[in-house]
Amino acid sequence: MNIGQASRASGVSAKMIRYYEQIGLVRPAERRDNNNYRSFDERNVNELRFIKRARSLGFSVDEITNLLSLWRDRARPSRDVKSIADQHVAELEGRIAEMQAMADTLRHLSGCCAGDDRPDCPILADLASGDPTVGERRREAARPFGG
């Protein structure tokens, strides 16, 4: 299989396949002698599918590196896999809570805003105040996503 076929078979774009190889997430694909094209087999495609599914569950490339090596290790303790998953769930929950707090605050402010032609606006008032006691509840200001 060429990269395009592997891409269609796995659902991972050719660009990403090359990228994953470049950063060492997958081992460099074999090359054809005549034209230097990458050559993929079913095994490679399965790995790509694994990666795609893991990405869709929000795992980072680093985490997937670990998951892949556990997957390849027939003697892995399932404890190790579970640990990675649980850690990731905790991180997701943390980020969800942050965004939930943002959304709650904004919903409250928006609910207080007439949303008409008049200029008075509690949303702007909150932003302008910078005072963290105006909104509903917001003890520790959630930092923006990027972390």
Q: Which stretch binds DNA (CB under 7 A): 12-20, 71-79, 105-113, 117-125?
A: 12-20
The yes or no reply on residue 18 touching DNA (CB under 7 A) is: yes
Which runs of consecutive H residues, i.e. helices, occur in 37-118? 42-56, 61-72, 78-111
Burial of residue 40, with CB atoms counted within 10 A of its CB: 0-12 exposed, 13-18 middle, 19 or more buried: buried
Q: Which stretch binds DNA (CB under 7 A): 4-12, 72-80, 85-93, 124-132?
A: 4-12
How far apart CA 57 and CA 91 sit, in angstroms, is: 12
**Is residue 30 classed as helix, strand or coil in its secondary structure?**
strand
In the list 34, 35, 79, 147, the residue contacting a copy of itself (rule: CB under 8 A) is 79
How far apart CA 95 and CA 23 sit, in angstroms, is: 26
The residues binding a copy of itself (CB under 8 A) are 46, 49-50, 52-58, 67, 70-71, 73-79, 81-83, 85-86, 88-89, 92-93, 95-96, 99-100, 102-103, 105-107, 109-110, 113-121, 123-124, 126-130, 141-145
